[in-house]
């Protein structure tokens, strides 16, 4: 087996120590982006190289790993990362949120509430929330140092001036424990309230940008807003067409070329477990 030529969980020990030290400093300063020497991984940038490195540094043989991509367990990215760690770390894998000890996610927080002891690892494309407002790293670092976040409020204000509301619907900026403004990775703003006071440890890895940051359990995370335009966690105003859930985040699926569409839970495990206990939606197949 060629797999046994790799170290446990793929990365070498020196690299894992470096990542582990960065994770610990990230935990100590919630929301602060810790630089780390990101490695080339056997997948392209944008496919979760940061998340994979964080997961690799955290995994132990007793773990049960779940990987989701936009809420789904069965997409290419999720399946290949899950197989990667099955082969290189030999860990158990699962699709059930409650059974997993480590969950690597691309752009969603599972609907099922997480519990103490679980670790949620986010794949982050651009960790710097101010990057599209100020391209220079030297400047954004100074802005974080001085807590100078006026530019972010100007951006949200311009949203209101142009659209009548805050039009940012994903990667919605948050402030952590009243100190650092943080990019929660491109999760829908529907998920933002789940960032705060979460029982699980949340770790963020950005491979290409070489940054790791963290939210310890029960950290206070506030979505930026204005008194007269308070933050609203929006979703499509429908129920899931397969399980009938009214409170979950929905994907819109075009089903024909005549304007037909359906809305389904983005969290496949949540939807499937609801259907398994008998919940049905508008388009559920007839029972046989």
Partner 1 sequence: MTPEALTGGFADAPVQAARAFRAALDALSRPGVIHTVAGATPPAPLSVAAGVLLLTLADATTPVHLAGDHDCPALRDWITFHTGAPLVDAPSAAFAIGRWGALAPLSRFAIGTPDYPDRSATLIVEVDDLSATGAHLAGPGIKDHAHLSLPEVAAFRANRALFPQGCDFYLTCADRLAGLPRSTIVEAC
For partner 1, the binding residues (CB under 8 A) are 7-9, 13-14, 16-18, 20-30, 32, 34-35, 57-62, 116-117, 141-142, 144-145, 177, 179-180, 199, 201, 214-220
Does residue 64 have an active-site annotation? no
Does residue 31 have an active-site annotation? yes
Residue 172 CB-density burial (10 A; 0-12 exposed, 13-18 middle, 19+ buried):
buried
Q: Residue 160 in 3-state DSSP?
A: helix
At which residue do the structure tokens 């020196």 appear?
A: 14
Q: How far is the CB of 57 from partner 1 (least distance, A)?
A: 7
The catalytic position among 50, 271, 278, 281 is: 271
State the DSSP string of 175-232. Answer: EETTTEEE---S-BGGGHHHHTT-SSEEEEEETTTTEEEEE-TT--EEE--BTTB---
Q: How far is the CB of 283 from partner 1 (least distance, A)?
A: 41
Does residue 58 have an active-site annotation? no
Choose between 21 and 131: whose C-beta lies nearer to partner 1: 21
Q: How far is the CB of 178 from partner 1 (least distance, A)?
A: 10
Choose between 39 and 238: whose C-beta lies nearer to partner 1: 39
Q: How far is the CB of 21 from partner 1 (least distance, A)?
A: 6
Choose between 67 and 89: whose C-beta lies nearer to partner 1: 89
261-268 own/partner pairs: CB under 8 Å, 24+ apart:
263/236, 263/238, 263/239, 264/240, 265/71, 265/111, 265/240, 266/70, 266/71, 266/72, 266/108, 267/68, 267/71, 267/72, 267/108, 267/110, 267/111, 267/112, 268/68, 268/71, 268/72, 268/73, 268/74, 268/95
CA–CA gap between residue 180 and residue 169 (Å, rounded): 20
Does residue 271 have an active-site annotation? yes
Choose between 35 and 246: whose C-beta lies nearer to partner 1: 35
Choose between 29 and 64: whose C-beta lies nearer to partner 1: 29
Q: How far is the CB of 81 from partner 1 (least distance, A)?
A: 18
The catalytic position among 26, 51, 205, 240 is: 240
Q: How far is the CB of 26 from partner 1 (least distance, A)?
A: 8
The catalytic position among 31, 50, 205, 281 is: 31
Does residue 240 have an active-site annotation? yes
Structure tokens at 58: 């955290």
Q: Put residue 232 in one of left, alpha, beta given phi > 0 → left and psi -120 to 50 → alpha.
A: beta
Nearest to 98 by CA among 285, 283, 267, 282: 267
CA–CA gap between residue 95 and residue 245 (Å, rounded): 19
Choose between 177 and 225: whose C-beta lies nearer to partner 1: 177
The catalytic position among 48, 71, 207, 265 is: 265
CA–CA gap between residue 164 and residue 231 (Å, rounded): 13
Tell me the catalytic residues: 31, 240, 243, 265, 271
């Amino acid at each position: 087996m060629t797999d046994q030529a790799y170290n446990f969980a793929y990365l070498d020990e020196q690299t894992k120590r470096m990542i582990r030290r960065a994770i610990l400093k990230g935990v100590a300063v919630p929301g602060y982006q810790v630089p780390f020497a990101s490695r080339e991984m056997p997948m392209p940038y944008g496919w979760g190289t940061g998340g994979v490195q964080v997961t690799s540094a955290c995994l132990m043989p007793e773990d049960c790993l779940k990987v989701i991509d936009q809420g789904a367990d069965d997409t290419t990215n999720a399946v290949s990362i899950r197989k990667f760690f099955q082969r290189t770390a030999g860990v158990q894998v699962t699709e059930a949120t409650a059974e997993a000890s480590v969950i690597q996610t691309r752009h969603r927080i599972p609907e099922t509430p997480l519990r103490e002891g679980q670790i949620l690892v986010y794949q982050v494309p651009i960790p710097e929330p101010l990057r599209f407002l100020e391209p220079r790293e030297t400047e954004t670092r100074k802005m974080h140092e001085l807590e100078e976040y006026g530019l972010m409020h100007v951006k949200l204000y311009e949203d209101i001036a142009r659209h009548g509301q805050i039009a940012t619907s994903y990667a919605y900026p948050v402030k952590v424990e009243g100190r650092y403004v943080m990019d929660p990775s491109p999760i829908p703003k529907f998920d933002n309230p789940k960032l705060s006071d979460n029982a699980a440890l949340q770790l963020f890895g950005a491979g290409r940008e070489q940054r790791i940051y963290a939210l310890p359990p029960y950290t206070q995370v506030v979505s930026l807003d204005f008194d007269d335009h308070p933050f609203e966690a929006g979703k499509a105003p429908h129920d899931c067409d397969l399980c009938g859930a009214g409170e979950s985040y929905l994907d819109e699926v075009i089903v024909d070329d005549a304007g037909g569409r359906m809305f389904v839970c983005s969290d496949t495990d949540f939807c499937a477990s609801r259907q398994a206990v008998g919940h049905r939606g508008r388009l559920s197949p007839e029972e046989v």
